[in-house]
């Protein structure tokens, strides 16, 4: 039986009716980044299934929406995402992003566990994404166009907001967190890249490689969400060191780096609240 199309606008309206006005920010938590929920004040939590949000089946993704205040800013933490390699249709892969906009969210921050494409990027390094290359072979906007989501041909030139990137770099400097900047290379997965693919991706100008993020970014740009993205290097790409790549190591390493990521994000949101006069 074919799954029913995901109705992001109905889900967004249901979120507004059940949870109240939309928060100022939504933050998508990649593999191992769930520790950020510990910094959320006045927190409430729901399973995705309770809210009719698309459910993930990947370990390290709890599949819960946490709502509260982070750095003094009303924030929804989305603990888990749906991946292309899970075999879901595009409307479910990007359904949560669209539902956030339909709820009333205007800004979204993505996090993602990635492989490093440079030998000088150690496990645990944080990389602010400035651009991407989509090598997944899929685009979430492929197929019949629904004008409610935005333009048929969205401009991705400044997909990763230059203004938000500048503020994140300022927050990193203020907290003493090292924040690299670079290009995300998107592969479909779920197998890890071969050494030859890692060499190719580096030669094409990539800094990190991952199996998510890009479909969500494309959908967010189309629907009008201002966005930024931070990747956490979980491991060097294949061929850059001799150990085998394992998903449990990804979640462990990212979990260890999540403290620095949390400090950075909390300071970033504190600066947002200060600019808004404490009303964010």
Query: What residues are labeled active site?
Result: 31, 61, 83, 85-86, 113, 211-212, 235, 247
Look up residue 247 and give its DSSP letter: H
Render 194-220 in DSSP notation, one character per residue: PHHHHHHHHHTT-SEEESSSHHHHHHH
Query: Which pair of tokens denotes residue 9?
Result: 């606008």
> Which residue from 278, 111, 97 is spatially nearest to 184, judged by alpha carbons?
111
Q: Are 95 and 82 in contact (CB under 8 A)?
A: yes
Peptide bond into 279 cis (omega under 30): no
Q: Are 94 and 216 in contact (CB under 8 A)?
A: yes
Write down the H helix ranges in the chain: 8-19, 90-93, 95-103, 162-175, 195-203, 214-223, 247-275
Q: Are 52 and 4 in contact (CB under 8 A)?
A: no
Is the four-CA dihedral 271, 99, 227, 78 of positive or negative sign?
positive
Q: How many of the other CB atoms lie within 10 Å of CB of 118?
A: 18
d(CA 218, CA 170): 26
Burial annotation 157-179 (CB, 10 A radius, 16+ → b, else e) = eebbbeebbebbeebbeeeebeb
């Amino acid at each position: 039986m074919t799954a029913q199309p995901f109705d992001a606008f109905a889900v967004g309206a249901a979120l507004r009716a059940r949870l109240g006005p939309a928060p100022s920010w939504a933050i998508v938590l990649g593999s191992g980044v769930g520790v950020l929920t510990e910094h959320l004040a006045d927190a409430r939590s729901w399973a995705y299934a309770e809210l009719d949000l698309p459910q993930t089946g990947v370990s390290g993704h709890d599949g819960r929406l946490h709502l509260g205040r982070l750095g003094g800013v009303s924030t929804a933490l989305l603990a888990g995402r749906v991946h292309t390699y899970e075999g879901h249709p595009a409307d479910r892969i990007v359904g949560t992003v669209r539902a956030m906009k339909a709820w009333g969210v205007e800004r979204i921050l993505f996090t993602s566990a990635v492989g490093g494409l440079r030998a000088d990027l150690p496990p645990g390094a944080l990389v602010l994404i400035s651009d991407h290359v989509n090598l997944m072979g899929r685009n979430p906007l492929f197929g019949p166009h629904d004008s409610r989501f935005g333009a048929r041909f969205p401009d991705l030139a400044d997909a990763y907001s230059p203004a938000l990137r500048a503020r994140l770099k300022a927050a990193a400097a203020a907290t003493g967190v090292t924040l690299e900047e670079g290009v995300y290379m998107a592969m479909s997965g779920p197998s890890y890249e071969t050494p030859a693919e890692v060499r190719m991706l580096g030669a094409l100008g990539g800094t990190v490689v991952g199996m998510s993020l890009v479909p969500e970014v494309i959908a967010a740009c189309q629907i009008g969400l201002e966005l930024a993205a931070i990747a956490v290097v979980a491991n060097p790409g294949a061929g850059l060191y001799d150990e085998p790549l394992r998903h449990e190591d990804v979640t462990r390493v990212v979990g260890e780096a999540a403290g620095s990521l949390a400090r950075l994000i909390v300071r970033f949101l504190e600066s947002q609240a200060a600019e808004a006069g404490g009303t964010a």
